Structure 1
Amino acid sequence: MIRPHRSHPLWIAYLLHRLSGLGLALFLPVHFHVLAFALNQPERLDGFLRFADNPLVKLAEFGLVFLLAVHVFGGLRLLALEFLPWSPRQKTLAASAVAAAFLVAGTFFLQAV
């Protein structure tokens, strides 16, 4: 049984914001670990950078940038909810935020390939 509030489009925006935050939180320790290679084990960093040239890694980078953009625009949506009056246009703005996130991530992806 689907709860009525979960069929609301802004619930999907809420869910995307939480999932993107979780994805970024899982990514950051890995990112810092790889950055530590530059300081302590430059040969391992070189190996990782060769691995990062893989097209699947580039696709994963697209996903990461998409998560970041979704999270940023979702945060802006939450700030708007907190500080701006409620309006019927918020569904459109939430959809626009996801579209903008996809545009940002897509632009990054096209430059990375």
Structure 2
Amino acid sequence: MKRPARTHPLWLAYILHRLSGLILALFLPVHFYVLSQAITNPALLDGFLKFAEIPVVKVAEYGLVFLLAVHMFGGLRLMALEWLPWTAPQKTLAAGAVGAAFFLSTIFFLQAV
């Protein structure tokens, strides 16, 4: 019996990829604005860089790197789905992609603290 799509284990990979893309799309304009302050208002940029040293901001950066890694690996998963013949182990590969994203973002976090 075929399970409905929302109970399929890869549905989580689908949701993570879409949400990470949305959050990254919302973050990018803010990121570019802050970077533009290096040219237009260096004092404001310096204040923001001091704000970025707060531990809760470091944790938020960890989350951002995690989302970036999830989105990257989710995109690789989608490309593989389109270009490669798949068999039963695709659930394991999707779980491995999330694990790799977690690993990469944790390494970044440990170096940033």
Q: Residue in 1 aligned with 2:10?
A: 10
Q: Residue in 1 aligned with 2:22?
A: 22
Q: How big is each residue's C-alpha offset from its partner over 1:35-77, in whole Å with a ceiling of 9 and x where there is no partner? A: 0100000000000000000000000000000000000000000
Report the RMSD for the aligned CA atoms in angstroms: 0.9
Task: Give, as a single letter, the amino acid of the residue that structure 2 aligns with 1:18.
Answer: R
Q: Residue in 1 aligned with 2:59?
A: 59
2:86 is the counterpart of 1:74: no
Report the 3-state secondary structure (helix = DSSP H, G, I; strand = E; otherwise coil) of the residue aligned with 2:21: helix
- Taking the aligned partners of 2:92 and 2:40, their CA distance within structure 1 comes to 48
2:94 is the counterpart of 1:94: yes
Query: 5+ unaligned residues in a row in structure 1: which ranges?
Result: none
What TM-score comes out, normalization by structure 1 length?
0.96
The list of structure 1 runs, each at least 4 consecutive aligned residues, that deviate by more than 6 angstroms after superposition, is none
What TM-score comes out, normalization by structure 2 length?
0.96
Residue 13 (structure 1) shift: 0.3
Sequence identity (%): 71
Report the 3-state secondary structure (helix = DSSP H, G, I; strand = E; otherwise coil) of the residue aligned with 2:86: coil
Number of residue pairs aligned between Structure 1 and Structure 2: 111
Residue 4 (structure 1) shift: 1.6
- Taking the aligned partners of 2:78 and 2:87, their CA distance within structure 1 comes to 13
Q: How big is each residue's C-alpha offset from its partner over 1:4-35, in whole Å with a ceiling of 9 and x where there is no partner? A: 21010111100100000001001000000000
Q: How big is each residue's C-alpha offset from its partner over 1:87-109, in whole Å with a ceiling of 9 and x where there is no partner? A: 10100000000000000000000
Task: Give, as a single letter, the amino acid of the residue that structure 1 aligns with 2:27.
Answer: F
- Taking the aligned partners of 2:12 and 2:53, their CA distance within structure 1 comes to 33
Task: Give, as a single letter, the amino acid of the residue that structure 1 aligns with 2:9.
Answer: P
